[in-house]
Amino acid sequence: MIERDTIKVGAQLSIAIAAVALLPALWSLGSAIWSATTTDQVLVISIGRTETARALVPWPAGWARFAGPLLLIASLLVYARSKSPQSTIWWVSAALATVGLCLLSFSWWFSSFQRAAGAVVLAAFITTALALGNRFGRLPAYLFVLAAFCTLLCWRLSHGA
């Protein structure tokens, strides 16, 4: 089982990254607003391992580009209000920072319903695998991943790869 201290360090790391990324995020927000008002389109990105996917989309479809910086600001404001060590509200700050960073880094994923649903399914899959591993051990988690892979493979083969 993951220790509470490990989770706390990860949450604090997310808040620290949000603080460092705030100025570039505000620049990104300004750029997105400028682009939306002048061309009615915004540039959305998805940071990959070896390359970055970029696309121009109509500004309503690029909502993640606008929401990400605002969530980072909100997370830092919530964190500033929760300076008490007994306060549990800083977890909200960590969640806002994580979601804000994901929206900024992977805004392309959220530019259509299908890609957004895929991102949510991927996040749910990872969370479920981690929960199974923490609760029941590695074997059930590995079996879950294997079953999901086999299901995806069978579905892909039956729909003509």
Q: Is the pLDDT of residue 6 over 80?
A: no
What is the chain written as a DSSP string?
---HHHHHHHHHHHHHHHHHHHHHHHHHHHHHHHHHHHHSEEEEEEE-SS-EEEEEEETTTTHHHHHHHHHHHHHHHHHHH--STT--THHHHHHHHHHHHHHHHTGGGGSSHHHHHHHHHHHHHHHHHHHHHHHH-HHHHHHHHHHHHHHHHHHHHHT--
Residue range 35-59: mean pLDDT, rounded: 91
Q: Is the pLDDT of residue 161 over 70?
A: no
Where in the chain are the domains? 1-111, 112-161
Q: Is the pLDDT of residue 119 over 90?
A: no
Tell me what pLDDT residue 48 has. 84
| pTM of structure | 0.78
Residue range 123-145: mean pLDDT, rounded: 90
Tell me what pLDDT residue 149 has. 92
Tell me what pLDDT residue 84 has. 66
Residue range 71-95: mean pLDDT, rounded: 83
